[in-house]
Amino acid sequence: MKAGVLDEFRSRELVKGLAAEIARLTADRPVPMTFMEVCGTHTMSIYQYGIRSLLPSRVRLISGPGCPVCVTPVGYVDKAVAYSRLPDVIITTFGDMVRVPGSSSSLVQERARGADVRVVYSPLDALSLAERNPGKRVIFLGVGFETTTPTIAGTILTAADRGIANFFVLANHKTIPIPMQVLSADPELGIDGYICPAHVSAIIGADAYRFLAEDHGVPCVVTGFEPADILHGVSMLVRQIVEGRSAVEIQYSRFVTSEGNRKARGMVERVFTPCDAVWRGVGVIPGSGLEISGEFACFNVEKALPVEVEESREPEGCQCGEVLKGKIAPTECPLFGTACTPEDPVGACMVSSEGSCAAAYKYGQ
Amino acid sequence: MQVMEIKGETMVAEIDGVRREASLMMLNEEVKVGDYVLIHAGFAISRLDEEEALETLDLMRECLALGEERG
């Protein structure tokens, strides 16, 4: 492929042209349209490229529960904190989780008190750490959606293969399509369509949203992350509404198919089974989580190494739950930018780089 | 990221001069040096379909042309 083709998805000319097309398509629409994205990378991209400022006022973009760290309940952080206090334990995690406040502590505070908490790039790095430290118990914090879960499944399968007995996962995996249906059924939100996630869809395939479009009448477009991708995805959603259709379309067809990645899903099905999951702000959503199945229970730290955890409480005044549901914009939270900043966060949405509050703070919107 | 080297179940990929190792155990498709792949947490998850990339760009340009025609 000619170098530079992928750069065209950032082309100013395409971005300007697509924005004009959206304005033209919506010019004589009587009611505004609201589209939700449910992927932390979209949240960041939309703020970073100032996408909202390119759209007419009749098109509103809201962020949903797409940041994995943000939707993880406080109780999970408390559990991770409790594990970090055990002897001979190394906690391994993606970076964002370290600074999320729990009920009375965070992993970064525990590290300051002497706990061994390490940030890794891949769960495979955590597995190597376990291999190199046979006298330690290495616990990986398995937090994430459908893109991350297969990487943990692959790591557990590798650990089983190599007979590594000191590697564990504190699993809190979630799946996105059911919560999308829950939110689109909320009349207060008035969601007219979904900008469907990019990487998640590379795994689950665009067909995973068909029930939303076909049974619930919600237009869905699987969209890439570049500015022209996002505007193109929005224009495809607008067009569906103008034409009175609701279908699943793939804007990000260079990486996503209808079917997705069967091999990755197969790995997840081997290692995990569906369970109910608690979403911060939304509550329990039946069947929207994944837990480590019985066959691999020896890697499930909650089974292999039970620990006592303090009673959890949400930070006082924190509106993360409302932000995650798209009910309020980050700036509408009374703590935003005053009591809660990226340097001294109160809620998870201000910690994670994928969080709406952190993105709104960084890009000043 | 672009595939620079393949070593069995692992590959080395590069973006903006940064090189990373990634596992191929999750990838459905065959890859060769020079291909572009999506990488997530140390695993390649999808290979770029170049024809689709070019087609999407064409579709975008078509949208633009339509808009201009209709003024």
Q: Which structural domains are found in chain A, ordered by start?
A: 1-318 (3.40.50.11740), 320-363 (no CATH)
Question: How many Å lie between the alpha carbon of A329 and the closest alpha carbon of chain B?
Answer: 29
Q: pLDDT tens digits, residue range A184-225?
A: 999 999 999 999 999 999 999 999 999 999 999 999 999 999
From residue A247, give the alpha-carbon distance in Å to each of A153, A238, A292.
Answer: 31, 12, 34
Counting every residue written for chain B, the total comes to: 71
User: Burial level of B34, CB count in 10 A (0-12/13-18/19+)?
Assistant: exposed
How much of chain A exceeds pLDDT 90, in percent?
Answer: 93
Task: Give me the pLDDT at residue B19, please.
Answer: 92
Task: Give me the pLDDT at residue A247, please.
Answer: 98
Task: Give me the pLDDT at residue A2, please.
Answer: 66
Average pLDDT of A241-247?
Answer: 97
Task: Give me the pLDDT at residue A3, please.
Answer: 66
Task: Give me the pLDDT at residue A365, please.
Answer: 61
Q: pLDDT tens digits, residue range A109-122?
A: 999 999 999 999 99
Q: pLDDT tens digits, residue range A328-338?
A: 999 999 999 99
Q: B67 touching A, CB under 8 A?
A: yes
Strand duo A220-222 + A248-250: pairing: parallel
Q: Give the distance, in angstroms, between the CA of residue B12 and the centroid of all CA atoms in the same chain.
A: 14
Number of Cβ pairs closer than 8 Å across A and B?
110
With bands split at pLDDT 50, 70 and 90, how would you rate the model's confidence at B28?
confident
Residues 6+ apart with CB under 8 A from B45: A147, A150, A199, A202, A203, A261, A264, B26, B27, B37, B38, B39
Task: Give me the pLDDT at residue B51, please.
Answer: 95
Task: Give me the pLDDT at residue A164, please.
Answer: 98
Longest dimension (CA), chain A: 68
For domain B2-70, say whether CATH 2.30.30.140 is its number. yes
Mean pLDDT of chain B: 90
Residues of A in contact with B20 (CB under 8 A): 121
With bands split at pLDDT 50, 70 and 90, how would you rate the model's confidence at A180?
very high
Three-state secondary structure readout of chain A? CCCCCHHHHHCHHHHHHHHHHHHHHHCCCCCCEEEEECCHHHHHHHHHCCHHHHCCCCEEEEECCCCHHHHCCHHHHHHHHHHHCCCCEEEEECHHHHHCCCCCCCHHHHHHCCCEEEECCCHHHHHHHHHHCCCCEEEEEEEECCCCHHHHHHHHHHHHHHCCCCEEEEEEEECCHHHHHHHHCCCCCCCCEEEECCHHHHHHCHHHHHHHHHHHCCCEEECCCCHHHHHHHHHHHHHHHHCCCCCEEECCCCCCCCCCCHHHHHHHHHHEEEEEEEECCCEEEEEEEEEECHHHHHHEHHHHCCCCCCCCCCCCCCCHHHHHCCCCCHHHCCCECCCECCCCCCCHHHHCCCCHHHHHHHHCC
Cβ–Cβ below 8 Å for A24 and B67: yes
How much of chain A exceeds pLDDT 70, in percent?
Answer: 99
Cβ–Cβ below 8 Å for B40 and A151: yes
**Which of B43, B48, B60 is opposite residue A14, by nearest beta carbon?**
B60
Longest dimension (CA), chain B: 55
Give the ipTM: 0.93
Average pLDDT of A81-102?
Answer: 96
**Which of B41, B60, B63 is opposite residue A148, by nearest beta carbon?**
B41
Task: Give me the pLDDT at residue B52, please.
Answer: 96
Task: Give me the pLDDT at residue B70, please.
Answer: 63
Q: pLDDT tens digits, residue range A294-329?
A: 999 999 999 999 999 999 998 889 999 999 999 999
Question: How many Å lie between the alpha carbon of B43 and the closest alpha carbon of chain A?
Answer: 7
Res. B67: pLDDT tops 90: no
Task: Give me the pLDDT at residue A72, please.
Answer: 94
Cβ–Cβ below 8 Å for A254 and B53: yes
Angle value at C-alpha A77, between A75 and A83, nearest 5 degrees: 105
> Residues 123-182, chain A: which have Cβ within 8 Å of B?
123-125, 147-148, 150-151, 154, 158
> What count of Cα atoms within 13 Å lies in the side-chain half-sphere of residue A28?
0
Q: B36 touching A, CB under 8 A?
A: yes
Task: Give me the pLDDT at residue A315, please.
Answer: 87
Angle value at C-alpha A75, between A71 and A81, nearest 5 degrees: 110
Average pLDDT of A19-46?
Answer: 94
Residues of B in contact with A151 (CB under 8 A): 26, 40-43
Residues of A in contact with B53 (CB under 8 A): 1, 5-6, 254
With bands split at pLDDT 50, 70 and 90, how would you rate the model's confidence at A278?
very high
Phi, psi of A100 (to 5 degrees): -70, 125
Q: How many CB atoms lie within 10 A of CB A103?
A: 17
Counting every residue written for chain A, the total comes to: 365
Cβ–Cβ below 8 Å for A255 and B38: yes
Average pLDDT of A26-31?
Answer: 91
Chain B interface, mutation test: which of A28, A242, A255, A354, most B Cβ atoms within 10 Å? A255
Cβ–Cβ below 8 Å for A251 and B46: no
Cβ–Cβ below 8 Å for B64 and A17: yes
pTM over 0.80: yes
The domain locations on chain B are 2-70
Residues of A in contact with B55 (CB under 8 A): 253
Task: Give me the pLDDT at residue B71, please.
Answer: 52
Task: Give me the pLDDT at residue A282, please.
Answer: 85
Which residues share a beta bridge with A174?
A: A289
Mean pLDDT of chain A: 95
Q: pLDDT tens digits, residue range A146-175?
A: 999 999 999 999 999 999 999 999 999 999
Q: B23 touching A, CB under 8 A?
A: yes
Q: A264 touching B, CB under 8 A?
A: yes
